[in-house]
Amino acid sequence: MPARASSTTKLLSGSSWHTPNMANHKKTHPAYRWPWPKVRARILERDLHQCQIQMAGCTQIATTVDHIVPVTQGGAWWDDANLRAACRHCNNQRIERKPTEAWKTAATHIVLVIGPPAAGKSTWVEMNARAGDLIVDYDRLAASMGGTPHTHGDQLHTVINAARNGILQTLRKGQAGCARAFIISANPDAENIFPHHQVQVIDPGQEQVKARAHAAGRPATFQRLIDDWYRARANAGTDEQQSRSW
């Protein structure tokens, strides 16, 4: 039996609401590093450098790429169908538009459970969830759909992710109807992506997590994913300014 995951709880309430800041989000999210510059160049080329949004004040000349369905609302990072060329003016208007915020005042209390892969997030949730609580766990969804647990490169990834995003959208709209929901995420930028009233960090320490992953027989790629998580957490918020123009 591995040592219990140590954890800290950060309660967010009233004036200390952490509202995802899209400008900051764009600057720091790992997905905006390589190969984003290539994707961006391809979409600008595809759309002939013409702004596809065309709001009032549009400059017509596209120098940025916009997610049609924002990533914060479950839109796909890389899907060409979710990307379009945009001028700086229109893209900034879009960034400033608030995502769905009904969850903030809805009856469901959302606990965001974050930590590196194999940290013990699912175990923590199993110990703390009560009957009737909603648990949004990629691995559970994968198992229920015939996928193999802990292999996120699974060929069922698209449908598993679609199901997860559908549930997250329902939560975002405040329509989940349950008293409490747990969202499990190994995304190092989870707090900026998912709606939440409370953050639970499950972080037993980098070396211990790697030892756990090894002992549990997780694929070798987990060692790298774990290192990536810690590196991304350490670097969060320290990225250079230039990515603002992406």
CA dihedral 222, 228, 230, 235 (to 10 degrees): -170
Which window, 56-64, 132-140, 178-186, 204-212, contacts Zn ion (CB under 5 A)?
56-64
Q: Tokens at residue 211, please? A: 């030892």
Whether the Cβ atoms of residue 160 and residue 141 lie closer than 8 Å to each other: yes
Nearest to 31 by CA among 62, 84, 76: 76
Binding track, positions 13-52, relative to Zn ion; x by CB under 5 A: --------------------------------------x-
By CB under 5 A, is residue 167 in contact with Zn ion? no
Residues in 69-98 that interact with Zn ion by CB under 5 A: 87, 90
Residues in 89-148 that interact with Zn ion by CB under 5 A: 90
Nearer of residues 85 and 114 to Zn ion, judged by Cβ:
85
Looking at the DSSP bridge assignments, the partners of residue 3 are: none
Residue 222 vs residues 33, 59, 142: alpha-carbon distances, Å: 21, 46, 17
**Cβ of residue 47: shortest distance to Zn ion, in angstroms?**
11
**Cβ of residue 22: shortest distance to Zn ion, in angstroms?**
17
d(CA 104, CA 37): 34
By CB under 5 A, is residue 58 in contact with Zn ion? yes
Residues at the site binding Zn ion, with contacts judged by CB under 5 A: 51, 53, 58, 87, 90
